[in-house]
Amino acid sequence: MRIVALLLLMLFSAQVLAETGEQHAQAAARGLVGTPAPRLVLKTIDGQTIDLASYYGKKAVYLKFWATWCVPCREQMPHLKHVYEQAGSDMEVIAVDVGFDDTLEDVRRYRKEMGLKMPIVFDDGSIGEAFHLRVTPQHVVIGRDGRVLYVGHEANEKLNAALLAARTSTPSNVATAMAASDAGAADKQLPDVTVPTLSGAPFRLNAADSQPTVLVFMSPWCETYLAKSRPAVAASCRAVREQVTALSRDEHVRWLGIASGLWADQDGLRAYQQEHHLTMPLALDESGTLFRRFRVMHVPTLLVFDAHGRLVRRIEGVDAQLGDQLNALSAR
C-alpha cells in the first residue's frame, strides 16, 4: 500500500508541475502569439551566426528553450531530437539554453552525452526577453509567415500540431517585428530606477549619499528544485538565504531581494517569503530586466554598492567577510 501511495503522490506531483508549467507558458503566450516574431541574430555555441529574420516568409522556426538542470527538459529531449531529425528544408530547429545557472561547459557536455546535432544557442537573457520566457522548457513555434504561432510547455499533440501548421502556413512578407531589447552593459552604478516590491512599496535603487545597498539575486525554487540536479547550487542558495536573513536586520544597509521570473510568480515568491520569514523587501523581475542589466546569470548572486551607489563587490555564494565589509561601508 505504501508503494502504491508513493506512486500516486509522484504522479500527482508531476501533474501539478506540468499544469503549473503550462500556466507559465500561457502567460508568455499572451501578447506574443499572432504577432510578428522578433528579428534577432543568434550565435551558436560553435560560433555560427543565425539570422532569424532571414527565415521569416520562407520557412518555419522552432525554438526550444531549455536548461541542463531542468528535469522536464531532459525528459523532452528525445522529442526535440526526433523533430530535428524529421525537419525538412521548410523548418529550422534551434535549441536555446536559457543560460540561467548553466555554463557553456555544461551545455557542451550534455550535447555530447545526448548526441544532439541541432544548432544550440546559449542565451544571455535577450532571447528569453524577446520571446517572453517564463518557464523551462518553453516551446516557441514561428510560422512560415513570420508570426508567432504557438507557445507551450509540454511536448504533446498540441505542439506537434503547431509544428505541422507552421510548416504549411502561407508565406508572406513580414513588414514589422518586435525589436530585440538591448541587454546593455553591466552597471557599475545603481541606475535611477524605482522597483515595485512584493508589498507594493516602491524601492528606489539610486538613493545616492544614503546607505550601502545590497541587491540579492535569487530564485524561490532554488533550494528545493535543484536539490537533486544541482545540490551544490541548492546548498549555496540556502546558505545565502540564511546569511542574508541575519544581516538584513541591519538598518544601516538597504537590502532588496530580486527574484527571477523564470518558474516564479508573485504568489510563489510571497509563499517563499513567509516560509522563511524574510524581512527584506522582495521584487519579482518578471521580464528579467534587472538580471540582464547587472549581467547576473547565476543564483545566488549579491551585488554590494556603497552609499554613493557605486558597485564595490559581486559575490556568488556565501562570503564570510560580508558583514565586516558592510560595517566598514556604513562607517561603523
Q: CB–CB of 148/32 below 8 Å?
A: yes
| Residue among 137, 143, 148 at smallest CA distance from 30 | 148
Lowest mean pLDDT among 27-41, 103-117, 119-133: 27-41
- Indicate if the pLDDT at residue 16 is higher than 60: no
The pairing of strands 282-285 and 41-43 is: unpaired
Sign of the dihedral defined by the CA atoms of residues 281, 284, 290, 295, in that order: positive
What residue has cell string 525589436?
A: 179
Tens digit of pLDDT for each residue in 215-240?
Answer: 999 999 999 999 988 999 999 999 99
> What CATH number does the domain located at 194-329 have?
3.40.30.10
Share of the chain above pLDDT 70, in %: 88
Please give the Cα distance from 197 to 280 (Å, whole number).
10
State the pLDDT at residue 68. Answer: 97
What residue has cell string 523551462?
A: 136
Orientation angle between helical segments 231-247 and 222-229, nearest 10 degrees:
150
With a CB cutoff of 8 Å and minimum separation 6, the contacts of 326 are 212, 214, 247, 250, 252, 253, 304
User: Which phi and psi angles does 51 have, rounded to 5°?
Assistant: -95, 100
State the pLDDT at residue 259. Answer: 97
Q: Which helix (H) or strand (E) holds 158?
A: helix 157-168
Lowest mean pLDDT among 21-25, 85-89, 110-114, 276-280: 21-25
3-state SS, residue 291? helix
User: Which phi and psi angles does 54 have, rounded to 5°?
Assistant: -70, -15
Kindly indicate the confidence band of residue 309, based on its pLDDT and cuts at 50, 70 and 90. Answer: very high
- For residue 262, what is the DSSP state? T
Neighbouring-strand partners of residue 218: 259
Q: What's the whole-number mean pLDDT along residues 306-325?
A: 93
Q: Which helix (H) or strand (E) holds 278?
A: none
pTM of the model: 0.74
Please give the Cα distance from 112 to 99 (Å, whole number).
18
Q: CB–CB of 240/226 below 8 Å?
A: no
Tens digit of pLDDT for each residue in 157-181?
Answer: 999 999 999 987 665 433 332 233 3
State the pLDDT at residue 162. Answer: 93
Please give the Cα distance from 187 to 290 (Å, whole number).
10
The pairing of strands 301-305 and 148-152 is: unpaired
Please give the Cα distance from 76 to 90 (Å, whole number).
23
Tens digit of pLDDT for each residue in 79-107?
Answer: 999 999 999 899 999 999 999 999 999 99
| Residue boundaries of the structural domains of the chain | 20-168, 194-329
Output the furthest CA–CA distance in the chain (Å, rounded): 68
Q: CB–CB of 189/309 below 8 Å?
A: yes
Is 194-329 the same fold as 20-168? yes
Residue type, 151: V
Half-sphere exposure of 31 (CA within 13 A, CB side): 8
Tens digit of pLDDT for each residue in 235-253?
Answer: 999 999 999 999 999 889 9
State the pLDDT at residue 88. Answer: 87
State the pLDDT at residue 209. Answer: 63
- 178, three cell numbers: 518586435
User: Which phi and psi angles does 297 have, rounded to 5°?
Assistant: -120, -5
Q: What's the whole-number mean pLDDT along residues 284-303?
A: 92
State the pLDDT at residue 11. Answer: 36
Please give the Cα distance from 259 to 218 (Å, whole number).
5
Average pLDDT, the chain: 87
3-state SS, residue 79? helix
Please give the Cα distance from 59 to 169 (Å, whole number).
9
Q: Which CATH class is domain 20-168?
A: alpha beta
